[in-house]
Structure 1
Amino acid sequence: MKPLHDKPERPDPARRSLDRLFELAEVLGTMMQRGMAEKGLTTARARVLWALFHEGPVTQRALATQLGVTPRNVTGLLDALQEDGLVCRKAHPTDRRATLVSLTDKGRSATAALRVGRDELAALLFADVPPDRLDTFTATLGLVTERLRAVGADSPE
């Protein structure tokens, strides 16, 4: 007779869930990088375009704060995006020290393509998932994301 302690342990649900999240992050990250590269974008540049799409014209400083990067970093990103014709910068109408950033027509087209890709992937992944299960999944992901952000905010860089 084998001793009980040789029996393989079934991982607890929290560890199994975290393992699945790591797997999901890896797969989504790879897909996103490939999709951005196909559109001639880096993930960082796509984040800028996405932020401008959602927020509309903003100052460079506000954009840097929103993205969690330094003003110098956002300047480099905007230089490249402006060179590609995706964003434009102009003087702020009421604050002469600020620069206002907005999408160009080409930038709006690029974000529209990103949205279409997102919508197609959402339909593919979740088309047959019952709404109540999807709501639970979405709420759980929200909770996990909030906790990860809180843990990340507490850890030294």
Structure 2
Amino acid sequence: MPDDIDVFDRLLEIALLIQADMARELEPAGLTAARTHLLWVAHSSGPSTQQALAHALQVSPRNVTGLVDALEARGFVRRSPHPTDRRATLVSLTEQGTQAVTEMEEGRRRIAAHVVSDFDVDRLQHFRADLDAVTARLHELMDPS
């Protein structure tokens, strides 16, 4: 019977496997986890200021500038003047950026289906409930207030 350390070690193993798979898939395109996160945020929020992106990513504006510089150099995003604030710049996905996010979404669906391919509906519901409980406890650790 597994104990709490065994379960925690398995969670760490899963996290590392997902991280390694992401790195392997994203590296050829010059993407890192941080750059990919910015692409996801830009995709879901539409054209955004760098300040809004920094807030959404919970990083400094300076960090976002570096991420946007790298993504712009690779053709994933473009900067354009803000229509009402001449001090601000909007960051939006290019066609290449949109295609990259679409491909990542498709890959995510394939992996998700593969991971739970032999789960019946009841098992999947129980697994989801267990994951929700673990996630809630991890959030408690991150915000002990």
The match for 1:7 is: none
Query: Taking structure 2 as the reference length, what is the TM-score of the superposition?
Result: 0.88
The match for 1:18 is: 8
The match for 1:100 is: 90
Q: Which runs of 4+ in 1 moved over 6 A?
A: none
Aligned AA for 2:51? R
The match for 2:112 is: 122
Unaligned runs of 5+ in 2: none
Aligned AA for 1:151? L
Query: Taking structure 1 as the reference length, what is the TM-score of the superposition?
Result: 0.82
Deviates more, 1:79-88 or 1:39-48: 39-48
Q: Shift of residue 11 of structure 1? A: 4.9
The CA RMSD measured in Å over matched residues stands at: 2.0
Contact 2:30 2:74 in 1 (8 A): no
* CA 98–142 in structure 1, closer or farther in 2 if over 3 Å, else same: farther
Aligned pair partner of 1:31 in 21, 26, 30: 21
* CA 59–138 in structure 1, closer or farther in 2 if over 3 Å, else same: farther
Q: Shift of residue 153 of structure 1? A: 4.2
User: Aligned residues, how many?
Assistant: 145
Answering whether residue 28 of structure 2 is matched by residue 60 of structure 1, we say no
SS at match of 2:79: strand
* CA 144–98 in structure 1, closer or farther in 2 if over 3 Å, else same: farther
* CA 136–113 in structure 1, closer or farther in 2 if over 3 Å, else same: same
The match for 2:101 is: 111
* CA 142–68 in structure 1, closer or farther in 2 if over 3 Å, else same: farther
Unaligned runs of 5+ in 1: 1-9
Residues 73-109 of structure 1 deviation map (CA, whole Å, 9 limit, x = unaligned):
0000001111111101112222233221110001001
Residues 36-88 of structure 1 deviation map (CA, whole Å, 9 limit, x = unaligned):
11332111111111111122211111111111110000000001111111101
- The CA distance in 1 between the partners of 2:83 and 2:129, in whole Å, is 41
* CA 144–96 in structure 1, closer or farther in 2 if over 3 Å, else same: farther
- Seq. identity, %: 47
Answering whether residue 116 of structure 2 is matched by residue 147 of structure 1, we say no
Contact 2:80 2:89 in 1 (8 A): yes
SS at match of 1:90: strand
- The CA distance in 2 between the partners of 1:141 and 1:152, in whole Å, is 16
